[in-house]
Structure 1
Amino acid sequence: MYRYDNYDHQMLADRVAQFRDQTSRYLAGQLSDSEFLPLRLQNGLYVQRLAPMLRIAIPYGMLSSTQLRKLAHIADYYDKGYAHLTTRQNIQFNWPALAEVPDILAHLAEVEMHAIQTSGNCIRNTTTDQFAGVSADEVEDARAYCEIIRQWSTFHPEFAYLPRKFKIAVCGTRRDQAATQVHDIGLYIVRNDAGDIGFRVLVGGGLGRTPVIGSEICEFLPQQHLLSYLDAILRVYNREGRRDNKYKARIKILVKESGVDNFRDKVEAEWQAIKDGPMTLTQDEVERCRAFFHDPAYKDLPAQSDTLKQALSSDVMFAAWYQQNVAAHKKQGYAIVTICVKKTGFAPGDLDSAQMRFVADMADTYSFGEMRIAHTQNIVFADVEQDQLYQLWQNLKTQSLEADNLGLLNDMICCPGGDFCALANAKSIPIAESIQRRFSHEELRDIGSVSLNISGCMNACGHHHVGNIGILGVDKKGEEYYQVSLGGSADNNTALGKIVGPAFSQDEIPVVIEKIVAVYKKSREPQEAFLNTYNRIGMEPFKDALYGSKDKSRSAQGAAS
């Protein structure tokens, strides 16, 4: 992973000192709320329902054991002993005291971390597939390009105050696990007929109030033009994006109103003026960044592990975890392990400080001291020897991290919701737990792969639009209700879910999910996944089960409630 040089360290030290002074002046009444707002946002600090929230940048989701131990220390001494994994592969603290935030930033700087540009109207953390660099189906390791984009976008003076926040995802694996198509810019790494590396560029994706799937504006962008093309897109957006209405300020609105062809033409015209200038990537620069992500000291191991084979045959619980949570690795004798942070009774995506220290220890022992955060709010050990999988699983059980529900109904994406967020219309965490408690382990296995995403408001931090089943918290005459959608997907064939009908009360939601599952199980063909069944039979059978076939008028009201 990338290591800071002297310039990076000095830059962070200066930034911490600057924000310490700004915070002191604000607390002394020398800066107004409006003056302090952009300063704190550019340092990752929000004002939530009950306390500030600090979002820590985890570039492209990569984290060392040393860094995770520092985060555990911050959780204990400056927060309430836990942290939250986000869908942008970052980590959030929900309870820091404002006066202590500069101290937290100083601690982060000690381990080459910060909170810069994790909020505000700027280019946010660039995300990628959590299996980047180790996946057996990879076109090219995306992490070097994510690092190139990070260095280009951090403190970029022209793009510090965009019309709205801006998100970029890079996918180098054939199976998209980064929700690439619902980003402001989505980049797929591809090869042309000559075998050259380039990018398929999508623009104008995003969720929130107006969910949109990104549109292709370039089929093959040569590698050397990556930054100049991104710069051209941002220049057009910065110049023409709406600033009078924050709900219409995202690039997706500009692309929609301009038309994708017209927008492409504007980008092309802007790009032609800069494409062969100083932003042209040299092969030396690409190789410099690739060198940060070299393979660790892999052993020469046999393709099959007798130790693993014995454990799988003798322990059915381990076999269930292995089947669900372990993926194929590019290197013979190794495996990719996903630690599913979604055990029933725990808020999805939350880790307490003891678990954080434990995960750091396990990473040192089993995965070269590194881990990744997935956009699904789970943790990945990228490089585990097959011989050590059983021992790792036994250790995970000691900290309630052995959940074998990866990709199943209970492995849900869930925002913090109304328990923390001032923007939320409804709580998310209790809804998640009520659903988790509704289904037994055997039922989850029988249901199979299905994504369930929960958001507490239309900002869609829980990605409800692209869940096979999506749940959105809404305000209904001062009471918390929940709107359900079906048919969403965040993979290569991205789709936006459609609302089933009128919203449900909190108490109704577990039964609603049960009925949806029952329709699926009754209608599915052998080995057919939930989304395929939904696409084949359509919405009507689910509506009938939820509202009654005779109550079409209520169902027709849909989103109006």
Structure 2
Amino acid sequence: MYQYNPIDQSIVDDRVKQFRGQVERRLQGTLPEEEFRPLRLQNGLYLQRHAYMLRIAIPYGLFNSQQMRMFAKIADKYDRGYGHFTTRQNIQFNWLKLEETPEILADLASVQMHAIQTSGNCVRNITSDPFAGVAADEIVDPRPICELLRQWSTLHPEFAFLPRKFKIAVSSSKEDRAIVAAHDLGLFLRNNEQGELVADVLVGGGMGRTPIIGTIIQYGLPWQELPNYISAVLRVYNLHGRRDNLYKARIKILLKALGVEEFTRQVNEEYQYWRGGHQAFTQEEWNQVAQYFVKPAYKTLPSLNEEPIVLQAPESERTSFSRWLERNVKKHQIPGYASVLLSLKPHGTVAPGDIDSSQMIKISNLADQYSFGLIRSTHEQNLVLADVEQTRLYELWKEAKSLGLALPNIGLLTDIIACPGGDFCSLANAKSIPIANDIQKRFDDLDYLFDIGDITLNISGCINSCGHHHVGNIGILGVDKDGQEWYQVTLGGEQGLQAAIGKVIGPSFFASDMPDVISDLIQIYIELREPEESFIQTYRRVGVEPFKTRVYANKEKKDKKNTVGEDAHG
């Protein structure tokens, strides 16, 4: 992974010193909150419902065991013993004291980490495929481009005060695991017919109040021209983006208002001033960062199929181990290796994405022991050990199981994506975590989960869609009605190359209704599906009506029963 040079380190250290002074002035009362707010947001510090929250950048989801141990230290010393991995591949700490935040940033700087641009109206942390560099379906390794873009965008003076936050995602595999089309700007990297690295550029995707799938406005852009072309996009956005209305300030609204053709015309016109300019990436810059993404010292190993791997386990454990292999282990580019997903979705006990300090330490040890000391975070709020020898998978499974991290539910109904919601976030209309926990408790039978098959369920506590509910096969959105928490359900959302926005099925539900609603949706799917058909495939074939009819019919029966019960009691 990328290692800071002296310039990188000095920039981060200087930012810590600046922030230390800003916090001191805030505590002394000489810096009012309205002036301090943009300064703290530039350092990823939010004032939430109960305390300050710090969002730490994990560039394109890649970090190492030393950095994970630092997270454990922060969790124990400054927080309540745990952290929360987010859908932006970052980590958040939710219970911080303002006076201690400069020390946290200093601790992070000591392991080459920071929280710069994890908030504010700027280019945010760039996300990518958590299996970058090892995925069996990879076209090119996106990490050098991600790192070049990270360096280019960090503290860029022209793009530090955009109309709204700006999120970039990069993918370069046959399967999109970065939801590229749901970002302000997305890049699909590939080789052209001449074997040159190029990018197809999407603009105007996003979720939130107005969910939109991005549009490709440029095909085959040479990789060297990425900063110039993105600068043209950002300049057009900076010029026309709505600054008078927070809810209409994202670039997706501008693209819709201008129209794709006019927006593209203006970008191309602006690009003529940037093309071939001094911002263009050079081969020297590529070489400088690419050296950190060479293949590790892999052994020469035979490639094993599932049978000899399963036989590593005693007969009494083979069914459980085989399930884990099916759901949590992915193919690797190198013979004899595999990538392993550690599930942060225990059934109904903690928030999806939460991890305690003890687990952090032990995962660091696992990374050192099994995966060259490296860890990846996913936008699904799980963790990856990307380079595990196949002959050691049983050994790793046993250790992960003892840590509560081996639940074989990756891609299944209880692998829920959820934001912190109203338990923490001051923007949320409703709680997310209790809803996720209740659904996980309802569907705790692994046999049943495996029968249901692949399905995504995402929960957001407000319209900002930090839980990506719009692209869940089943999406749940917390809404406020006269001071009460209600939940709206969408169906038909999807990630990947077939990215789609889900559609609202009808009126919202009480929190207590949600497990029954999900049960009804799953039951009608089981009744209507054809052999080997996934939930989303069945939905596409039969449409929303059968699901909608079942859910609201059962809700009406339940409401009538409750009303009769109340009348009888009265």
Common topology (TM > 0.5): yes
Aligned twin of 1:522: 527
1:427 matched to 2:431? The reply is: yes
- 1:323 aligns to 2:326 (yes or no): yes
CA RMSD of aligned residues (A): 1.4
Partner of 2:568: none
Aligned counterparts, 1:151-550, within 5 A: 151-304=151-304, 308-311=309-312, 314=315, 315-344=318-347, 345-439=349-443, 440-548=445-553
Q: CA deviation at 1:85?
A: 0.2
Q: Distance in 2 between matches of 1:143 and 1:230?
A: 18
For residue 283 of structure 1, report the CA deviation from its aligned partner. Answer: 2.2
AA at the equivalent of 2:31: L
1:172-217 deviation line (CA, Å, top 9, x unaligned): 1110111110100010012222222101100000010011110110
Query: Which deviates more from structure 2 when the two are superposed, residues 123-132 or residues 224-233?
Result: 224-233
Report deviation, 1:309.
4.1
Match of 1:227, SS? helix
How far apart, CA to CA, are the structure 1 residues paired with 2:182 and 2:544? Answer: 23
1:249-303 Cα deviation digits (max 9, x unpaired): 1101111101011111111011111111112222232232221111110000011
Instruction: Report what 1:557 is aligned to.
Output: none
Q: How many angstroms does 1:346 deviate by?
A: 1.9
User: Which aligned runs of 4 or more in structure 1 are off by greater than 6 angstroms?
Assistant: none
Aligned length: 552
Partner of 2:565: none
Residue 118 of structure 1 corresponds to: 118
CA distance in 2, matches of 1:391, 1:86: 28
Please state whether the residue corresponding to 1:548 is helix, strand or coil.
Answer: helix
Distance 2:418 2:554 in 1: 31
Distance 2:207 2:308 in 1: 45
User: Counterparts of 1:339 and 1:401 in 2: how far apart (Å)?
Assistant: 5
Q: CA deviation at 1:336?
A: 0.6
Distance in 2 of aligned mates of 1:169 and 1:550: 40
Instruction: Please state how far the C-alpha of 1:312 moved relative to its aligned partner.
Output: 5.9
Residue pair 1:311, 1:318 contacting (<8 A) in 2 also: no
Aligned equivalents of 2:313, 2:543: Cα separation in 1: 39
2: CA distance between counterparts of 1:534 and 1:313? 40
Counterparts of 2:16 and 2:193, CA distance in 1:
48
Q: Does 1:41 align with 2:41?
A: yes
Secondary structure (helix, strand or coil) at the match of 1:95 reads strand
Unpaired runs of 5+ in structure 2?
560-570
Name the CA distance, whole Å, in 1 between partners of 2:202 and 2:554.
Answer: 41
Structure 2 CA distance for partners of 1:414 and 1:549, relative to 1, 3 Å? closer
Q: What TM-score does the superposition give when structure 1 sets the normalisation length?
A: 0.97
Identity of aligned residues (%): 55
- CA separation of 1:216 and 1:550: change in aligned 2, threshold 3 A: same
Secondary structure of the structure 2 residue equivalent to 1:492? helix
Q: Distance in 2 between matches of 1:296 and 1:232?
A: 37
Q: How far apart are 1:518 and its partner, in Å?
A: 0.5
Aligned partners of 1:409 and 1:449 also within 8 Å = yes
Q: Distance in 2 between matches of 1:529 and 1:313?
A: 32
Q: What residue is the counterpart of 2:9 in the other structure?
A: 9
Rounded to whole Å, the distance in 2 between the matches of 1:254 and 1:70 is 41
Q: 1:558 — aligned with what?
A: none
CA distance in 1, matches of 2:520, 2:42: 44
The residue matched to 1:94 in structure 2 has which SS?
Answer: strand
Deviations 1:124-150 (A, max 9, x none): 000001010000110101111110000
Q: Structure 1 residues 363, 20: CA separation in 2 closer, same or farther (over 3 Å shift)?
A: same
> What is the rounded CA distance, in whole Å, between the counterparts of 1:312 and 1:333 in structure 2?
18
Normalised by the length of structure 2, the TM-score is 0.95
1:332 aligned counterpart, secondary structure: coil
Residues 519-547 of structure 1, C-alpha deviation per residue, up to 9 Å, x if partnerless?
A: 10011110001001000000000111011
- Aligned partner of 1:69 in structure 2 is 69
